Structure 1
Amino acid sequence: MRIDYLGIEAFLAIADHGSFQRAAKFLGLSQAALSHRLRKIETDLGVQLLVRSSHAISLTAAGEALLPKAGALLSQLQAVYDSVRVRQAEPTGKVAFACLPTLASALLPQVLSEIAEENPYLEIDVIEIPFREIGEKVRTGRCDFAISLISAASSDLITRPLGEEPYCAFMRNDNRLAERKSVTLEDLVEWPMVRLAPHKRSRQIIDKALEEKSSRIQWPYEVQSSALATRIVSRSTAISVLPMSAIALAPQDVVSVPIDDTRIARDLAVITRRDSTLSPAAEYVLGKVEKYVVAMTAP
């Protein structure tokens, strides 16, 4: 038997409003159309649901029995409609983006958790790669966008500044400098230091900032990644200068302390292709990522 949802809706509206006139207005119907719907469902069910008098409307025993069940039925149906409508309005598909490894570790667990909660049907591919490889990933379309560093202008890529991420001194939490609110470059001279390999962009930024003191600094360790640098710091008295976000890669006994007597920072940016526009899904993901990057780099 076909379920008469329009009849159920008419019955519920009359019962809720206590008046054919008010129920018809609520549903956007004429009273005649409303009465027709009620008669039809009563005919289908073979029972009278309402008693209409000159002064009031009352439910029959059958109407009293139907009212809570019919109300629950329509509520469930409305929830199904709403879920489909919301899902249709949400961005869907797959989004791929590249990100610097330190930023990925610091930001993406929060970002992806928020996206999964809001839009569980979106598929996201995160590519953690060094700065020197990011441009090509975007250029070839392997990524929709990238969170990277500002670099030389390119005719086929658009670079939009996001913010400035400072570098900090990373050390064990039992180092006497760890108790300070900030340190100076001069404070670092007496400690063995861990630095990144020469081809790393962070190494180039740090070398430029430490140029005047480089001859006085001890560099017994050179590594390929910030993660390894923090592990060496954890097991020794060494200190390393790394991007602030690298704390997400560090063991629990490693802390980061700001450097206050010189500017050591990297300029973050969104990289996109000049010849294409982002899909709604990519725009949505970028908005989420950008929100966290801006919050992290805010002074």
Structure 2
Amino acid sequence: MNITVKQLRAFVAVAKTRSFTEGCALVHLSQPALSVAIKNLEEELGGSLLARTTRTLSLTPEGEAFYPTAQRLLADLDEAVDEMHNRFALFRGKVAIASMPSFASNQLPLALRDFRNKYPQINMMVHDVIAEDVVDMVRSGRVEVGVSFDPGDTEDLLFNPLFDDRFIAVLPEKHPLINQEVIQWQQLLQYDFIILQRPSSVRLLVDQMLEQEGLALSPQFETHQLATIGRMVATGLGVSVVPSLCFGQMTELGAVCRPLEAPVITRQVGVITRRRYPLSTAAKELVDVLLTTY
């Protein structure tokens, strides 16, 4: 079956006006073109929809039955077209982003504010999950955009770097190391240590880098949340290390941050998307906002 939108519009126009002349005006077709469109529709359906006489034009019983269906089909099509126009114009829609908590709770709100100011009709869903889950959510298509550490060479993902993040020491107030401008790992490891649990990528990176330097990490406390680390350090339970993008959060929680070296541990933070899947218009704009903000 090969029914066209033109044929449906022609039939609905004539059925509504009960006049070929008025129907032509509604759909901007000549009378011959209108007649051909309805004739082709009737042939596709297998029977007459209109009962024509020299003086009157009415619908056959089949035409009466088909009329509301044709109206509904055209209304659904028009609504779908309007929806797509709105989405492409960013007047409507939604976009989901996954971000590791350290970025989600510190830097991401600024980018979301800028995006919201530009596109107030776009709804956003933020998933603040560990770095590994960010990659998995983008890879599986559950979100279009992710912000996390560089996942390395992958065939199915694209990584656009935002900045290099350096790990910093986190200390309680009045700690013996507080007056040092830069702290060395060897010094920090002498105190009770608080760190994220495995399989956190932060923990794995720290373990790997310290092993290369011949240093051993024996934490007294392990947790899943960076906010918990900040509060525990501020309470005086120990010291810790976090990505520098957590500086503001740690300070708000009452801890003190210092640069950390020997070794200096850095890792790229960036935007992750799927390589072979085009982004929606809203997601493209969100990526642009992220790349220009940082």
TM-score range, shorter chain: 0.5 to 0.7
**Counterpart position of 2:113:** 113
**Counterpart position of 1:177:** 177
Q: CA RMSD in A?
A: 2.3
* Deviation of 1:170 (Å): 0.7
Say yes or no: does 1:95 pair with 2:95. yes
Q: Scaled by the length of structure 1, what TM-score is found?
A: 0.62
Q: For the Cα contact (< 8 Å) 2:231–2:253, is it kept in 1?
A: no
**Counterpart position of 1:82:** none
Q: For the Cα contact (< 8 Å) 1:227–1:249, is it kept in 2?
A: yes
Look up the equivalent residue of 1:276 and give its one-letter code. Y
**Counterpart position of 2:189:** 189
Q: Which moved more, 1:246-255 or 1:235-244?
A: 246-255
**Counterpart position of 2:257:** 256
* Deviation of 1:287 (Å): 1.9
Structure 2 CA distance for aligned equivalents of residues 91 and 213 of structure 1: 56
Q: Which moved more, 1:147-156 or 1:101-110?
A: 147-156
**Counterpart position of 1:133:** 133
| Count of residue pairs the alignment pairs up | 206
Structure 1 CA distance for aligned equivalents of residues 91 and 277 of structure 2: 18
Look up the equivalent residue of 2:289 and give its one-letter code. K
Secondary structure of the residue aligned to 2:120 is coil
**Counterpart position of 1:246:** 246
Structure 2 CA distance for aligned equivalents of residues 194 and 291 of structure 1: 35
Q: Which moved more, 1:130-139 or 1:233-242?
A: 130-139
Q: Which moved more, 1:241-250 or 1:193-202?
A: 241-250
Gaps of 5+ in 2: 1-86
Structure 2 CA distance for aligned equivalents of residues 187 and 195 of structure 1: 16
**Counterpart position of 2:80:** none
Structure 1 CA distance for aligned equivalents of residues 195 and 247 of structure 2: 15
Q: For the Cα contact (< 8 Å) 1:92–1:281, is it kept in 2?
A: no
Secondary structure of the residue aligned to 2:127 is strand
Closer, same or farther: CA 137–117 of 1 in aligned 2, 3 Å: same
Structure 2 CA distance for aligned equivalents of residues 91 and 265 of structure 1: 40
* Deviation of 1:254 (Å): 0.8
Look up the equivalent residue of 2:188 and give its one-letter code. L
1:153-179 Cα distance to aligned partner (Å, 9 max, x none): 333222233331111001123224233
After superposition, residues 154-165 of structure 1 pair within 5 angstroms as 154-165=154-165
* Deviation of 1:133 (Å): 1.6
After superposition, residues 164-243 of structure 1 pair within 5 angstroms as 164-211=164-211, 212=213, 214-215=215-216, 219-243=219-243
1:107-155 Cα distance to aligned partner (Å, 9 max, x none): 1222222222332112111111112222221122211111112124333
**Counterpart position of 1:144:** 144
Secondary structure of the residue aligned to 2:102 is helix
**Counterpart position of 2:271:** 270
Structure 2 CA distance for aligned equivalents of residues 274 and 169 of structure 1: 36
Structure 1 CA distance for aligned equivalents of residues 196 and 88 of structure 2: 47
Q: For the Cα contact (< 8 Å) 2:97–2:126, is it kept in 1?
A: yes
Q: For the Cα contact (< 8 Å) 1:105–1:248, is it kept in 2?
A: no
Look up the equivalent residue of 1:245 and give its one-letter code. L
After superposition, residues 34-113 of structure 1 pair within 5 angstroms as 90=90, 92-113=92-113
1:39-90 Cα distance to aligned partner (Å, 9 max, x none): xxxxxxxxxxxxxxxxxxxxxxxxxxxxxxxxxxxxxxxxxxxxxxxx9955
* Deviation of 1:187 (Å): 2.2
Percent pairwise identity: 26
Look up the equivalent residue of 2:179 and give its one-letter code. E
